[in-house]
Amino acid sequence: MSAHIFNIFEGNSFFYKTFETEPMSETILQVDTDSLVGLYGPADKYLNQIKDFFPKLKIIVRGELIKLMGDSEEIKKFEKRFELLLVHYEKFGKITENVVAQIMNEENGASTAPAVSDESVLVYGRHGKLIKAQTPNQKQMVKSINHNDMIFAIGPAGTGKTYTAVALAVRALKNKEVRRIILTRPAVEAGESLGFLPGDMKDKLDPYLQPLYDALRDMLPHQKLLTYLEDETIEIAPLAYMRGRTLGNVFAILDEAQNASESQIKMFLTRMGKASKFIITGDVTQIDLPRHKTSGLLKAQEILKGIKGIDFIHLNQKDIIRHKLVTRIVDAYEKHSS
């Protein structure tokens, strides 16, 4: 703290007072968010509301950069509360004037924003969509991945095994439990040859990976998803691209595992590095491999059963959350097969 002397005249007498003044500090913050409009509000409504809580600070905003000038303690207070606001926005996907007021008013630095976290929610998706495990076996997937590093989710179409797995991966990424997400599928065609699809190799493979893109679009804002794909925080690739790699500190999902051979499944499972989680999903009633090839998923159930740290969850018709006709279709095919 520095002392500045101000000379003050009063009548014919002369005296001085010493005022203690804090030196001015300056800080620049960079905002890392997918939508500045969502955070700052339409016409900067929330931003202006925040400024009103810090009248002692000069706050200059240029896009993602926020320049703070003023008392160092006030700057620290701003940083702490603005961080709480960012955490809330990242978690719930939106903020309101009431949320801003409660976070900025909080004296002890803990947010009491009205939107309360629901433990059953895996991810707050786009536009505040709540993504939860909805059926008993989906909930079992959530419970199991908390206690095991590798789980197999096996069940018919429409049971939400892939969607739940992707939601768990996004949750882990948002909670900084992993650094990256890797989503992979075997590129096995179901009645159509890759050679007849137009474009380069990526164009040929993307249709097989489309369900993974669809799930991610539900859970992440468009720009954020593009950024993650660009910097490979999220990687979507065919199973063949996994060979020779060590996947550490990642959440990896092998989808459509019924179409992977025994050697491919073994190759993928042995890519697992430290601090990683693996989910393998598949439907053993929809195997598209040539008849002379055995599904690696079927073999894995036999070979890996009972190994500590690996869990098998079997979903069924009761877990189907698509149109009610899907349940009837699955039932009909099962009766026909038996």
Q: In the predicted model, what is the mean pLDDT of residues 56-63?
A: 89
Provide the CA 266 distance to its chain's centre, in angstroms.
27
Which single residue is written with the structure tokens 């095991």? 148
- 181 and 265 housed in the same domain: yes
- 82 and 58 housed in the same domain: yes
Residue 116 lies in a domain: no
**Structural domains of the chain, count:** 2
Cβ atoms of 184 and 268 within 8 Å: the answer is: yes
**pLDDT digit string, tens, across residues 302-316:** 999 999 999 999 999
Taking the C-alpha atoms of residue 159 and residue 284, their distance in angstroms, rounded to an integer, is: 13
- 243 and 129 housed in the same domain: yes
- 76 and 171 housed in the same domain: no
| Amino acid letter for position 279 | I
* Local confidence band at 112 (pLDDT 50, 70, 90 cut-offs): very low
What is the pairing mode between strands 277-282 and 150-154?
Answer: parallel
* 141: Cα within 13 Å, side-chain hemisphere: 30
Residue 233 lies in a domain: yes
- 215 and 283 housed in the same domain: yes
- 90 and 144 housed in the same domain: no
Judged against a pLDDT cut of 80, whether residue 273 lies above it is answered with yes
Distances (CA, A) of 24 to 53, 59, 61: 19, 13, 18
- 74 and 158 housed in the same domain: no
- 136 and 88 housed in the same domain: no
Domain residues for the domain of 40 are: 2-105
Distances (CA, A) of 26 to 57, 70, 106, 164: 10, 7, 24, 45
Among the three residues 44, 75, 105, which one is the final residue of a domain in this structure? 105
Residue 110 lies in a domain: no
pLDDT of residue 251: 97
Judged against a pLDDT cut of 80, whether residue 204 lies above it is answered with no
- Cβ burial of 178 (10 Å; 0-12, 13-18, 19+) is buried
Provide the CA 43 distance to its chain's centre, in angstroms.
28
What is the widest separation between alpha-carbon atoms in the chain?
112
Query: Torsions phi, psi of 168, nearest 5?
Result: -65, -40
pLDDT of residue 132: 86
Average pLDDT over the chain, rounded to an integer: 82
